[in-house]
Structure 1
Amino acid sequence: MGLFLLKRLAQIIPVLLIISFIVFALVFIAGNPVALMLPDDASQEDIAQLTASLGLDKPFIVQYGHYLLNLIQGDFGESFRYSTSALPLVLERLPATLELAIAAMIIAVTVAIPLGIWSATQQNTPLDLLASGGAVLGKAMPNFWLGIMLILLFSVTLGWLPVSGRGTFAHLLLPAITLATGIAAEITRLLRSNMIEILNQDYIRTAKSKGIRNLFVVYKHAFRNSLIPLITITALQTSTVVGGTLITETVFSWPGLGQLLIQAVNTRDMAIVQACVFVIAILVILMNLLADILYRLLDPRIKYD
């Protein structure tokens, strides 16, 4: 296990290098942001001078080399919009995004696990069709549309919850539900299919023939053996959560990484874009590593050679 962790940690370095290259290349292709940093009446001489001072007139590989050296030191450059270092600003917004993501995952898992188990044990009944149809609908609804509908219903029409912002549990509820809906639908569908397959296994029928209570068989044997694929899909949903925050935070004016990244892209604030993407990549990598560790804890038969 220790050797496996060391190997996985070593693999993170080339992955981050590849990510840094892709992000820098996309930023380079996006064009020169100097025109946005100067007033509209700036002369060509002013533009050329600022471009040279920022090193944007050098070849791509030279610019990437400077970027990589600064990256090793934790320096993503300075945001021209906020006039401050990009990384501290991104880290300042990170807790808001983590709060929203964790709340969404808690809601999704809390709803999806009982619904998936219940749907599997009531297979092909009207209740199962209702749960399965709800999962398909939840997966099909776009986050931005669902968020707007929730705002219109619970904030504008009923006046129960605030429209936007962050601060209280009431502010968190609508964006968390918006983000959790698609994730809960995906987990429900996977858990239902896995539970149906496991409930048809021989050892489940043997346990039932011994007179063991059905509730014990379902939760002790079937659900326990569904935990590994459940952890897999939950870990994979990390990227979905992060991607969903980009839209959800914008709809609800939630002051997290998603809103910051969207604003940075619109203003071509490349230092912020690079820092945001890099931090998000690290979060996704760490979640995948955590999933691998949980596999080993849940099933000792899994070996990492």
Structure 2
Amino acid sequence: MRKYLLWRVLQIIPVLFLISIFVFALLYLAGDPVALMLPEDATQEQVDALRESLGLDQPFYIQYLSFVGDVIQGDFGYSYRYSQPALPIVLERLPATFELAFASMIVAVLIAVPLGILSATKRNTALDVFISGASVLGKAMPNFWLGIMLILMLAITYPFFPVSGSGSVAHLILPAITLGTGCAAEMTRVLRSSMLETLNQDYVRTAVSKGVKNFFVVYKHAFRNALIPFITITFLQVSTLVSGALITEVVFSWPGLGQLLIQAINGRDMAVVQATVFIVAFIVIVVNLMADVLYRVLDPRIQFD
């Protein structure tokens, strides 16, 4: 177990290395960073002085090494829009994104569990076909389109929920449904497949032949043993929720990382963009690691190397 964990953690290092290169390159994708910080009428002497003070007159590899050293210390630079370091700004918005991701996961589980069980127990019926088709449709629908449709139907035409913003549970419902629907589609399909495999096992057929009620066969025997792949895909969807929340937050003006990232891109505040991209990527890596370890812990058939 310890050797496996150590090996998985070591695998993160090259991934973080590639991410750091990408995040460092973001500084130059929007143009000359010095030109973005100074007014258009700045003199060449001012440009040269700022470039030298920021170390941007050094070779690229020197700049990159300096950038990595700063990132290790939690320094992503200074946001000229907010007039403060970039990392605290990102961390301040992180709880709102986690709140939306958690609510969306609750919505996804509430949808996926009953539909997955129904689809498996009613195999090859009209209900199974309908649920399977709805799962494919839910997976194919873009989050931003579904969010706009929900706003039009449930916030404008029939004003049951607020259009945008935060502050109450009502503000959370529409973005949570928008984000949770796509994850529920994938989770429903996984649970259906896992349930079908479990229902065909000998111990389930034995329970049925002994006269055990169908409810206990499905929920006590089949569902409990089908949870391992379902829990795994649930953890994997957490990373999808955190990254997918960025678009949904913009649609509903939710004050999380997504809204912050779009504002930073529009304002060319590259320090905030770099910090946001790096934090989101790091969260996705950690959650995927947790899902991989959890799967191996829950399934005793998998041996740790």
Relative to the length of structure 2, the TM-score reads: 0.92
Code of the aligned partner of 2:231? I
The 2-side partners of 1:176 and 1:185 are apart by 14
In the alignment, structure 1 residue 24 sits paired with structure 2 residue 11: no
SS at match of 2:244: helix
SS at match of 1:255: coil
- Residue 148 of structure 2 corresponds to 148
Give a deviation string over 1:92-131, Cα, whole Å, max 9, x none: 0010000000110111012101111111111122222221
- Residue 125 of structure 1 corresponds to 125
- Residue 256 of structure 1 corresponds to 256
Give a deviation string over 1:236-281, Cα, whole Å, max 9, x none: 2233212321111111111111111122222232211221122212
The 2-side partners of 1:57 and 1:231 are apart by 50
How far did residue 148 of structure 1 move?
Answer: 1.0
- Residue 66 of structure 2 corresponds to 66
Q: Spell out the pairing of 1:264-275 with structure 2 (5 A cutoff).
A: 264-275=264-275
RMSD of the TM alignment (CA)? 2.0
Gaps of 5+ in 1: none
The 2-side partners of 1:61 and 1:221 are apart by 59
Q: Spell out the pairing of 1:80-229 with structure 2 (5 A cutoff).
A: 80-229=80-229
How far did residue 140 of structure 1 move?
Answer: 1.5
User: Which of structure 1's runs of 4+ aligned residues deviate more than 6 A?
Assistant: none
Code of the aligned partner of 1:143? N
- Residue 42 of structure 2 corresponds to 42
Moved more, 237-246 or 6-15: 6-15
Contact 1:165 1:253 in 2 (8 A): yes
Between the aligned residues of both structures, percent identity stands at 67
Contact 1:265 1:273 in 2 (8 A): yes
Contact 2:119 2:128 in 1 (8 A): yes
Contact 2:27 2:33 in 1 (8 A): no
How far did residue 156 of structure 1 move?
Answer: 1.2
Moved more, 144-153 or 122-131: 122-131
How far did residue 227 of structure 1 move?
Answer: 1.9
The 2-side partners of 1:212 and 1:295 are apart by 30
How far did residue 29 of structure 1 move?
Answer: 4.0
Relative to the length of structure 1, the TM-score reads: 0.92
Moved more, 115-124 or 236-245: 236-245
- Residue 289 of structure 2 corresponds to 289
- Residue 243 of structure 1 corresponds to 243
Contact 1:36 1:267 in 2 (8 A): no
Give a deviation string over 1:119-164, Cα, whole Å, max 9, x none: 1111122222221222122112111111111111111111211111
The 2-side partners of 1:186 and 1:45 are apart by 57
SS at match of 2:75: coil
SS at match of 1:221: helix
Gaps of 5+ in 2: none
Give a deviation string over 1:144-187, Cα, whole Å, max 9, x none: 11111111111111121111111100111111111101011111
The 2-side partners of 1:250 and 1:225 are apart by 39
The 2-side partners of 1:123 and 1:185 are apart by 17
